[in-house]
Amino acid sequence: MSNANTNSMAAMLSLAVLVIFWLAIIAGAIGFLLVGTGLFGSLSGGSVKLPGMETYVQDVHPGRMFVAMVGIIVFSVGIAYVCRQLRYILSTLAKGDPFVPENGQRLTRIAIAIAAIEIVRTTLTLIIAATMDLGESYTASISINLAVWGAVIVLFVLAQVFREGTRLREEEKMTI
């Protein structure tokens, strides 16, 4: 692939990642506001009065709202963090030299962030299942997402490959 093609591809991917970044931030903020209102409502007897509107929260355990809020924060912040790291990697690709030592570390950080999101998701599901009576309409099922853990392993392997690639690149630079 030519350098110009790589640059335009990196620019396009960077734009896509930027869109995902802002979507995660906006969705997180909206979710936080909605669930926050719900939490406030469920704590204050089932209704929230805001200027121009009145919201009713019925039969929702405050703990469930709190868990949902924690989930939203971790998920949106995690996705935004992953997008930020991806944009740094793509910027090095656009400059024509992705084999820099930092990119190995960035891939490791992305893997850790995805693993952390998944661990938080599983933990929250466990907490909901163990501590809250959700009624018959909702059952908290604990599942291990193999695709996510597979992606985490692939990212760790890629990070290691990047580190080795960087070392070889450095050696090549110093070969006369």
Partner 1 sequence: MSIRVTLDRVLLDKRMSLTELSERVGVTLANLSILKTGKAKAVRFSTLEALCRELDCQPGDILEFDDPRAADKKIEAA
Stretch that binds partner 1, among 13-21, 41-49, 65-73, 166-174 (CB under 8 A): 166-174
Asked if 139 interacts with partner 1 (CB under 8 A), we say no
Write down the least CB distance from residue 101 to partner 1, Å.
16
Cα separation of 30 and 76, whole Å? 11
Among 1, 144, 147, 176, binds partner 1 (CB under 8 A): 176
Asked if 171 interacts with partner 1 (CB under 8 A), we say yes
Write down the least CB distance from residue 170 to partner 1, Å.
8
Strand, coil or helix: what is 47? strand
Asked if 1 interacts with partner 1 (CB under 8 A), we say no
Strand, coil or helix: what is 136? coil
Strand, coil or helix: what is 54? strand
Residue 158's closest CA among 58, 51, 86?
Answer: 86
H/E element, 74: helix 62-94
Asked if 54 interacts with partner 1 (CB under 8 A), we say no
Number of chain positions touching partner 1 (CB under 8 A): 5
| Encoded tokens for 63 | 């703990």
Cα separation of 116 and 17, whole Å? 20
Write down the least CB distance from residue 173 to partner 1, Å.
8
Residue 72's closest CA among 113, 42, 30, 38?
Answer: 30
Cα separation of 97 and 155, whole Å? 19
Asked if 144 interacts with partner 1 (CB under 8 A), we say no
Write down the least CB distance from residue 76 to partner 1, Å.
45
User: By C-beta, is 84 or 163 nearer to partner 1?
Assistant: 163
Write down the least CB distance from residue 167 to partner 1, Å.
10
Binding site for partner 1 (CB under 8 A): 170-171, 174-176
